Structure 1
Amino acid sequence: MNTTPPPTDRTRVRRGAANAAYEPELVRAIVDAAYICHIAFSDGQGAHCIPTACWREGDHLYIHGSNGSRMLKQLMAQDACVTITHLDGLVLARSAFNHTMNYRSVMIYGRFEAVGEAEQRRTLDAFMDHLAPGRRLEVRGGNDKEHAATTVLRIPLAEAACKVRSGGPEDDEEDMGIAAWVGELPMVRLRTGPVADAACAVAAPAYVRDWVSAP
């Protein structure tokens, strides 16, 4: 049973509250398992929900983009909602309405802030390490022109709520006699073998060779 209270009223999960969790370590774990998040915001043209690359350092989620990005400009002027979901399986029950999914998800509320130049350069290195640990030591880093054209934003993880479900179906007693297969169809994120570019003449480094077996 979850014993950590929600950080704010708007993060309190009301529908399916038994699957709610608010522990900071779970928030961080769900964020760390993601490469993409979805960010909801609004402007004069209506509501938008845009997928973008993300990474975590400490108790902040980071994103980056062009200085001219409409989304980045709006995110510094209003509260936003960030979501991440990992689908772990389909759960098949005896009743159509009792079918469900196993998943891990997080919603993060708050306002993004821009980071300074020194922080930007440092955290973009952390982003590269998130994508492929060790890669940034082998490639050209961003130059002054590239960094000047880039904005890095971060949002605190302080106001967040998780929902997580695992396990099998929960059938109603009156449906237990139905002769249908029940159980879970698990899903996992599968890494496949690296594919070298045709013009690449460099032997694969360890992080490439270990890509399939990496946790």
Structure 2
Amino acid sequence: MENTSQTFEQTERTTLTRSLKRGTYDKQTIYDILDESLVCHVSYVQNGQPFMIPISYGRMDDKLYIHGSVGSHFFRELAKGIDVCICITLLDGLILARSTFHHSVNYRSVVIFGKTELVTDEEERWKALECFTEHIIPGRWNDARQPNASEMKKTMVISIPLEEASAKVRTGGVNDDEEDMDLNVWAGVLPLKLVPQLPEPDAALDSSIVLPDYIKNYNNSVKIV
């Protein structure tokens, strides 16, 4: 039966034990963070040795998708259907308190627990590759050459169902101790944001090719999924 709940069920692995007021299990909040971020870190254990790999991803509904080479040791392990923990973090600002003890950061983060699944259905694989591309830069999939049969054969697609997930969010300003309020030290928030710079054309690019609007107006906080 389809789970139509607006929140993820709290489990032993996802239930927060510290700073509980910053935690949330709201699906839309978690999906918004996933849709804005560009990189996740996938961790797993093999023969007692922990591994963690940063990788780009895409989300379709209640599944996260990653892709890589069929020759990759990492992906061959994931294809076995193993337990993973995935973390995504967006850094929004530096909290500069009057005391170093109370320095902090504003952030939005998600932790996901799940079991990997090898995607074999060709239609789902194709949609996943489109999802990856559109997640990174909306508008690119229909503009660039799409994968051919040889490239598809060399590519492995892994999905992770979004069933166990929680988010943790820190917003606001400085939380100094009362006795530090009169210190002659600047205190406040230094906001941070990922900002695109001027595009750098490929050296071999035909000068007649116009920069697409989706690059010119790129905004990583707006995603089309």
User: What is the TM-score normalised by the length of structure 2?
Assistant: 0.87
Residue aligned with 2:205, SS: coil
Residue aligned with 1:62, SS: strand
Is 1:65 the counterpart of 2:68? The answer is yes
Structure 2 CA distance for aligned equivalents of residues 214 and 12 of structure 1: 27
Structure 1 CA distance for aligned equivalents of residues 142 and 181 of structure 2: 58
Q: Structure 1 unaligned runs (5+)? A: none
Matched ranges for 1:119-158 at <5 A:
119-158=124-163
Structure 1 CA distance for aligned equivalents of residues 112 and 211 of structure 2: 37
* Alignment deviations for residues 131-150 of structure 1 (CA, whole Å, 9 cap, x no partner): 22222223221111211111
Change (3 A) 1:169 1:125: same
Q: Among 9, 12, 35, which residue is 1:9 paired with? A: 12
Is 1:100 the counterpart of 2:104? The answer is yes
**Which amino acid is the alignment partner of residue 151 of structure 2?**
E
Residue aligned with 1:180, SS: coil
Change (3 A) 1:212 1:43: closer
- Greater CA deviation, 107-116 or 174-183? 174-183
Q: Among 85, 99, 113, which residue is 1:81 paired with? A: 85
Q: Over the residues paired in the alignment, what is the CA RMSD in angstroms?
A: 1.9
Residue aligned with 1:14, SS: coil
1:193 corresponds in structure 2 to 198
2:46 corresponds in structure 1 to 43
Identity of aligned residues (%): 40
2:166 corresponds in structure 1 to 161
Residue aligned with 1:211, SS: coil
Structure 2 CA distance for aligned equivalents of residues 204 and 73 of structure 1: 38
User: What is the TM-score normalised by the length of structure 1?
Assistant: 0.91
Change (3 A) 1:31 1:212: closer
Residue aligned with 1:128, SS: helix
Structure 2 CA distance for aligned equivalents of residues 139 and 160 of structure 1: 34
Structure 1 CA distance for aligned equivalents of residues 138 and 217 of structure 2: 11
Number of aligned positions between the proteins: 212
The CA deviation at 1:212 is 6.4
